[in-house]
């Protein structure tokens, strides 16, 4: 079956969604993007895009930082996304990748006089890292780029060169992923996901001022931990050695979902197995994203009428 993407105002066949080689975003990484998941609910025979408006609000904010004028409102983005998913007739878990990009065909890095383009790609998608027993990770010897260099708060294409270096070194050193420190040596997040620790029955996570992407899953975790599990989240700076002595640790993100971390720098976290808080959160999270928890159905945008 032909798959379609949305490109600069039109639904086009995926194979025809191409950009010229002189495109500014290709030459300089001047794009901002989102990763959204849609989940297939077998019982309801419905595809639900999870927290789509929050993702589109964020792409508009990322674009603002990069002098981009979003061509659509959040509502318009959601309508286009629904139409695209339905056109592709997806009946399984799906990934949606909107990219706002600098479209000028020119050499020279300036963002001025540089028209903005928009592409939304979609594809079927399963687990991000398939390791149900938990991840063994390291603290990366690369540092996260800082707010005054390439702001992690904005999901900027070019800043994922930092992520790529982090991910590649972790892989070549035999780890599943990494935890990244900032220039001050404080814990930020994973390569492309936020990080939570469990300490004495409370969740601890990096504050939004400490060079992280302000994750939508991070917010989902804080809300469901509070409302359903009665767990408080403390947002505060985290030092490296706290990682080693926490009771539990897990990553979260749209792609990653909830990923338990069971070993950091060759030290077991807790017993070195998935802890009870992480396990329960994982279960609740999968129910929430599939639209199975009435309180949070508001986060699930149905695709089929």
Ligand X SMILES: Cc1ncc(COP(=O)(O)O)c(C=O)c1O
CB-CB neighbours of 150 under 10 Å: 17
Nearer to ligand X, 136 or 218 (CB): 218
Task: Pick the stretch among 170-178, 197-205, 215-223, 281-289 that binds ligand X (CB under 6 A).
Answer: 215-223
121 binds ligand X (CB under 6 A): no
Per-residue binding string, ligand X, 3-42, x by CB under 6 A, is --------------------------------x-------
Nearer to ligand X, 103 or 167 (CB): 167
Nearer to ligand X, 35 or 157 (CB): 35
Given a contact cutoff of 8 angstroms between Cβ atoms, the answer to whether 123 and 49 are in contact is no
The catalytic position among 82, 102, 103, 155 is 155
CB proximity list for 60: less than 8 A, separation 6 or greater: 70, 74
CB proximity list for 147: less than 8 A, separation 6 or greater: 153, 211
Nearer to ligand X, 233 or 273 (CB): 233
216 binds ligand X (CB under 6 A): yes
Annotated catalytic residue 155: yes
157 binds ligand X (CB under 6 A): no
Nearer to ligand X, 88 or 159 (CB): 159
> Could you write out the DSSP letters of every residue in 78-125?
HHHHHHHHHHTT--S-EEEEEEEEE--B-SS---TT--EEEEEEEEE-
253 binds ligand X (CB under 6 A): yes
Per-residue binding string, ligand X, 171-210, x by CB under 6 A, is ------------------x--xxx----------------
- State whether residue 58 is helix, strand or coil: helix
Report DSSP state, residue 244: H
CA distance 255 to 250: 14
- In 3D, which of 211, 77, 221 has the Cα closest to residue 152? 211
52 binds ligand X (CB under 6 A): no
Least distance to ligand X from the beta carbon of 36, Å?
A: 8
* Residue selected from 114, 145, 206, 217 as contacting ligand X according to rule CB under 6 A: 217
* Residue selected from 23, 114, 254, 278 as contacting ligand X according to rule CB under 6 A: 254
Least distance to ligand X from the beta carbon of 222, Å?
A: 11
Tokens of 142: 């690369």
CA distance 67 to 112: 8
CA distance 21 to 23: 6
Given a contact cutoff of 8 angstroms between Cβ atoms, the answer to whether 187 and 246 are in contact is no
Per-residue binding string, ligand X, 69-88, x by CB under 6 A, is --------------------
**H-assigned helices in 204-275:** 216-227, 240-245
215 binds ligand X (CB under 6 A): yes
Residues serving a catalytic function are 155
Judged by the rule CB under 6 A, the positions of this chain that interact with ligand X are 35, 189, 192-194, 213, 215-218, 253-254
């Amino acid at each position: 079956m032909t798959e379609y993407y949305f490109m600069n105002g039109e639904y086009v066949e995926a194979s025809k969604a191409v950009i010229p080689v002189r495109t500014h975003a290709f030459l300089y990484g001047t794009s901002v993007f989102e990763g959204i998941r849609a989940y297939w609910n077998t019982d309801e025979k419905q595809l639900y895009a999870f927290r789509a408006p929050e993702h589109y609000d964020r792409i508009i904010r990322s674009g603002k930082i990069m002098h981009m004028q979003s061509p659509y409102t959040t509502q318009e983005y959601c309508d286009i996304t629904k139409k695209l998913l339905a056109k592709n007739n997806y009946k399984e878990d799906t990934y949606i990748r909107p990219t706002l990009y600098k479209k000028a065909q020119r050499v020279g890095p300036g963002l001025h006089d540089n028209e903005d383009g928009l592409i939304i790609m979609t594809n079927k998608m399963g687990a991000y890292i398939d390791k149900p027993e938990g991840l063994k990770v390291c603290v990366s010897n690369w540092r996260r780029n800082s707010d005054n260099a390439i702001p992690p708060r904005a999901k900027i294409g070019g800043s994922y060169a930092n992520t790529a270096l982090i991910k590649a070194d972790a892989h070549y050193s035999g780890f599943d992923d990494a935890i990244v420190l900032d220039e001050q040596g404080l814990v930020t997040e994973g390569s492309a996901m936020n990080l939570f620790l469990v300490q004495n029955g409370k969740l601890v996570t990096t504050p939004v001022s400490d060079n992280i992407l302000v994750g939508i899953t991070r917010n989902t975790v804080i809300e469901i931990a509070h409302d359903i599990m009665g767990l408080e989240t403390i947002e505060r700076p985290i030092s490296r050695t706290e990682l080693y002595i926490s009771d539990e640790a897990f990553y979260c993100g749209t792609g990653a979902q909830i990923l338990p971390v069971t070993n950091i720098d060759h030290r077991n976290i807790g017993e070195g197995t998935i802890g009870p808080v992480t396990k329960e959160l994982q279960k609740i999270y999968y129910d929430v994203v599939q639209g199975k928890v009435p309180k949070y159905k508001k986060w699930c945008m149905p695709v089929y009428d």
